[in-house]
Amino acid sequence: MGIDQRYEILFEPVRIGPVTAPNRFYQVPHASGMTNALPRVRAAFREAKAEGGWGVICTGACSIDPSSDDAPLPFATMWDNNDIRAHALMTEAVHRHGSLAGVELWHGGASVMNRASRLPPLSPSGIPWMATHVGFMGNLRPKTMDRADIRDVLRWQAEGARKARTAGFDIVYVYAGMGYLGYEFLLPEYNHRTDEYGGSIENRVRFVREMIEVTKDAVGKDCGVALRVSLEELRGRPGANQPSEAHELIELLADVPDLFDVKMDSSPTDCSASRFTGEGSHEPVIDFVKSLTKKPVVGVGRFTSPDTMVSQIRRGVLDFIGGARPSIADPFLPNKIREGREDEIRECIGCNICISSWHDGVPVRCTQNPTAGEEWRRGWHPERVERAAKPERILIVGGGPAGLECALTLGRAGHEVTLADSGRAFGGRLTFERTLPGLAAWNRVVDYRLGRLNRMTNVSLYLESALGADEIIDLAPDRVILATGARWTKLLYSAMEIPVGRLDGPNVFTPDEIAAGRLPDGPTLVFDFDNYYMGGVLAEHLAAQGVPVSYATPAGRASAWTIMTNELPLVHRALSRRRVSVATLQVLKSFDGEAATLAHLFTGEESRVACRSVLIVGLRLPRNELHDALVARSDEISAAGIRGVDRIGDALAPGAIVHAVHSGHKFARELGAAAFQPYRRDTPIVDAAPDFETRTAAE
């Protein structure tokens, strides 16, 4: 197959100042959780995208000075020779495949707490970011920058740019977005200055202009210089001579950088989850930029459809198709379009598990792509699986995310695989969850895998095939893998913050009963201590069915863990739209059929909520009946020639869908290995002397 002529425009080269990108696929800067402490992990992660056809591959935020310190959140640094050598691993890997390498130089300003460096944060006017997320909270307030501080930051940016050039980068960024220092100069809420850096939009842009200018001077004619800027807030402010201050900013800087990388102002809108936002959601904010500059423009929108990509270019919205989450879900997305294999794209589902990785301080994870972050650690390639030396006949029981991924990976390895599921459709938990408000895109986990499995002659798929121990022994495969999932329980929650006790009764529900089609009668209390999406989305679901809903949780917020995936504000807005009342720091004590008794988690003070039904969204436990039955007949299992009975996914340890997919993939990759091999541990580059001078450029 070859490229569809409609998509040829996506593979045109585009100049970025003195350098040329080989195509329009641009992996914009994004967090990966891979700091300079993991240089080989980082290089391999980025190289996979270059191999997959992304024309530009960028780092995440890369600090230019210890006064920009995000610890314990992961961030990269460009401070010394060790850092140069660490980044060079990535640029060399990217260049091997003909792609350009970009570095997002960054100063966090008042948005960092400098926990490790213990230096005062810097701010245009001493205004801090006082976040409600405990991971971003701190007690050290920023210093108001004087002229010497401004000169220092400009010098650090120039020195970082020279180091970046030495490390082999082709594009060097100035960052003026997402609440960081350049952005703080642009917004009057942060910038109260009365000198030439404050007041009018022309003055507020001055610092960003100077950052670009010193960067261009530092890199000379060797590198392109990009400006990454957030436009959402400025787009909403009327301009003096243009429709908005965003228009005025672009007009003022139109000829200064070599490329504009345009984005939103906050994570919930910049990388909103698919549950709340569709593909191309940035366009209403950034659609004007190309009308005011002749420089190329890159933007994002969780693009996975090549038709949407082409539309963005032909309508003059973007020059480059930016990708962060889609490039993680499928590093080979560009090559698949170029080779006419669009149906093989592993489309991002927009769950934002990748973003939670950064909040957790670990290498990136992906629900769709279990190899993300494992390219160097475990040697997993996103498109290739090593062929098995001795193919086996393998039976997988359960066609949910873990079973499907395991079958796909085993099939690629050459095993003869039978996948049996008792239901009428493959997907396991997703057969129900995909029907819930906003979760339809999550079924891409199923669609992608079934699309590949249906082409494999060595994989057989069977629905409505409930298998017990007798049937499995009669089939006598070489190996049995159980992906039978988990069930929700009616366990309650104690002041010790662990599940304890049970609440039984005719009007006490779990999500499994909702999935089976049973609808609560009358006003319903959703008691959620699972803390991820399920409690909130089921409250929405019931309210949409006309059921009056109230919501209670022992956590401090509804669906509290969704703060890790940037969904929390949107969850609360969705519940408000559905008129769902929210009670936090509450424990469910009892239910008498007319009201539920709640107790404050810390004080024990009790209150009653009128309701006729209770839905408990709490603890899930594995469905182990089949496993236990097979283990009890181990002699018969051995006699049938079955060499092993193993569990994967929720049947082994319940978790999010990302954990199930990774579990299925990991088992398949490691099947037949001589011995357990833990992942490789990366080490920092320390060849250069550790006692470095932080403010001396590399050259």
Q: Annotated active-site positions, please?
A: 180
- DSSP annotation of 145 reads P
CA distance 427 to 446: 6
Question: What DSSP string runs through 180-222?
Answer: SHHHHHH-TTT----STTSSSHHHHTHHHHHHHHHHHHHHTTS
- C-alpha to C-alpha distance for 120 and 112, rounded to whole angstroms: 10
Length of the chain: 699
Looking up tokens 């009668």 gives: 521
Distance CA 74, CA 39 (A): 13
CB 186 within 8 A of CB 127: no
Query: Are 366 and 356 spatial neighbours (Cβ–Cβ below 8 Å)?
Result: no
β-pairing verdict for 508-509 and 613-617 = parallel
> Tokens standing for 250?
């672009």
Quote the distance between the C-alpha of residue 645 and its chain's center. Answer: 33
Tokens of 549: 């809903």
Closest CA to 261 of 324, 217, 305, 207: 324
Cα separation of 492 and 477, whole Å?
41
Q: Do the beta carbons of residue 569 and residue 579 sit within 8 Å?
A: no
What whole-number distance in Å separates Cα of residue 521 and Cα of residue 542?
Answer: 10
* Residues 316 and 286: beta-carbon distance below 8 Å: no
Q: Give me the sign of the Cα torsion angle 184, 187, 188, 190.
A: negative
How many whole angstroms separate alpha carbon 578 and alpha carbon 662?
35
29, containing H or E segment: none
Dist. CA 99–CA 55, nearest whole Å: 5
Q: Which helix (H) or strand (E) holds 433?
A: helix 430-433
Is residue 640 within a helix (H) or strand (E), and if so which, with residue range? none
Can you read off the two tokens belonging to residue 310?
């082409």
